[in-house]
Structure 1
Amino acid sequence: MTYRLILDENVEHEVLHRLENYGHDAEHVDFVPEFGKETADHPIARYSLDTDRVIVTYDDDFVLEVDEGLYRAVLYFDDATLSVEQVADIIHTVSQNYPQAELQGLEYVGEEWL
């Protein structure tokens, strides 16, 4: 199974390329014309709803400040020390176990998926 993803600004570009190599439909806010660095979280949340994309982030603002009903779903990594390979592998492993349609709200993901 593949996911439709939008990667937050704090996620390395290489994660995008690795996810695309796995066959996922991934975008990075740095390359979405209406976004870029320093884009606020609420427009990204709205974009995830409008385009049916799961947000990937290390940003705890999606935990603390953005209500779950404002976005499609979030894969939140609270361990920013994971390598780009690990992050991409974790997302891909999650996708092999849960169809995107089953993802709801905020999901904490990390090393337990490796």
Structure 2
Amino acid sequence: MAYRLILDENVEHEVAHRLENYGHDVEHVDFVPELGKGTADQPIARYSLDTDRVIVTYDDDFVLEVDEGQYRAVLYFDDAALSVEQVSDIIHTVSRNYPQEALQGLEYVGEEWL
């Protein structure tokens, strides 16, 4: 199943391209006019609610500082050493196992999905 995603600024642009090739609807914070590079986490969280997009991030601020009710859902990678291919494949694998509607709050994702 295809996800609607918003990638945080710390996620490589190539991840967006790979996920689009898998059929996902992907936006990157850097290219959303009302957001852009350097946008604080709160506006990104609101944007995810307003547009029904799951946030993809390596940023632990979504773990420590943003309440789960403030965003649609977050796929949080705590291992920033994963390759672009691994991150893309993990998200796609999650999407094949869980529809977007099943994602709620903060979801830790990593190598266990490979």
Confirm or deny a common fold (TM above 0.5).
yes
Q: Which residue of 2 aligns with 1:12?
A: 12
User: d(CA) in 1 for partners of 2:47 and 2:33?
Assistant: 12
Letter in 1 for 2:65: E
In the TM superposition, 1:73-92 aligns within 5 A as 73-92=73-92
Q: Any gaps of 5 or more consecutive residues in structure 2?
A: none
The offset of 1:36, in angstroms, is 1.2
User: d(CA) in 2 for partners of 1:28 and 1:4?
Assistant: 11
User: d(CA) in 1 for partners of 2:113 and 2:95?
Assistant: 11
Equivalent pairs counted in the alignment come to 114
What's the TM-score, normalizing by structure 2?
0.99
User: d(CA) in 2 for partners of 1:107 and 1:98?
Assistant: 12
Runs of 4+ in 1 over 2 A off after TM superposition: none
User: d(CA) in 2 for partners of 1:4 and 1:31?
Assistant: 15
In the TM superposition, 1:18-37 aligns within 5 A as 18-37=18-37
| Bigger mean CA offset, 29-38 vs 69-78 | 29-38
The offset of 1:65, in angstroms, is 0.1
Seq. identity, %: 89
Letter in 1 for 2:47: Y
The offset of 1:17, in angstroms, is 0.2
How well do the aligned residues superpose, as a CA RMSD in angstroms? 0.3
**Secondary structure class of the residue paired with 1:89:** helix
1:49 equivalent in alignment to 2:49? yes
Q: Any gaps of 5 or more consecutive residues in structure 1?
A: none
1:112 equivalent in alignment to 2:99? no
